[in-house]
Amino acid sequence: MSRQGARLDAKRVNSELFTLTYGTLVAQLLKDYENVDEVNKQLERMGYNIGIRLIEDYLARTGSGRCYDFKDTAEKIQAGFRIFLGVSPQITNWGAGGDEFSLVFESNPLTEFVELPDHCLNLKYCNILAGVLRGACEMVQMEVTSWFVQDQLKGDNVTELRVKFIKRLEDAIPAGED
């Protein structure tokens, strides 16, 4: 596509700036809510609101079509991480029904420079990603849920985000698309 190339690169920002901005956000939320579970919830909600807008950017940039299989979806989500975060998570651990998979991050730009203090061991620091996935998929008429099963911040080797397909939102499919 014509836009990839010079014009897209011009919009690239240093990932450190992004990492630190996100860090500020989480720190501020912790200050505001003083309750780790509430912060997890808020992060997810914010992510959702980002996701429902970000999906249009993704579709406009990639020109990708509708998914008719969750495997397509997985690959497209992977491509999304490449575009927006510059990382390529691995797709592994497919569930037997083909409706569940894991995204495994060797490195995660959100968590660079981050150590969790003792009092927030329950904090899902990257929970915004779960919200983004939910929002973005919902806009293309797919209900998914996702959660972290491994987290580098909690001593695991890798960060693993489990994504599960719940259902297609048949009512919401626009005419001419179903």
The nearest distance, CB 11 to other proteins, in angstroms, is 9
Query: 3-state DSSP call for residue 144?
Result: strand
Size of the site for other proteins (CB under 8 A): 22
Q: Tell which one of 56, 72, 106, 156 touches other proteins (CB under 8 A).
A: 56
User: Is residue 169 at the binding interface for other proteins, with CB under 8 A as the rule?
Assistant: no
Measured CA to CA, the distance from residue 118 to residue 125 in angstroms comes to 13
User: Is residue 60 at the binding interface for other proteins, with CB under 8 A as the rule?
Assistant: yes
Measured CA to CA, the distance from residue 178 to residue 161 in angstroms comes to 29
Question: Which residues between 128 and 147 bind other proteins (CB under 8 A)?
Answer: 139-140
The nearest distance, CB 175 to other proteins, in angstroms, is 4
Question: Which residues between 61 and 80 bind other proteins (CB under 8 A)?
Answer: 61, 63, 65-66
Q: How far is CA 143 from CA 73, 137, 166, 168, in A?
A: 12, 6, 5, 6
| Piece in contact with other proteins (CB under 8 A), picked from 27-35, 77-85, 113-121, 170-178 | 170-178
User: Is residue 25 at the binding interface for other proteins, with CB under 8 A as the rule?
Assistant: no
Query: 3-state DSSP call for residue 165?
Result: strand
The nearest distance, CB 118 to other proteins, in angstroms, is 35
Strand 159-168, strand 142-150: pairing = antiparallel
| Cα maximum dimension of the chain | 53
Tokens of 128: 């915004």
Tokens of 174: 């626009």
Q: Which amino acid is at 35?
A: N
User: Is residue 155 at the binding interface for other proteins, with CB under 8 A as the rule?
Assistant: no
The nearest distance, CB 16 to other proteins, in angstroms, is 21
Using CB under 8 A, list all residues that contact other proteins.
2-3, 52-57, 59-61, 63, 65-66, 139-140, 172, 174-178
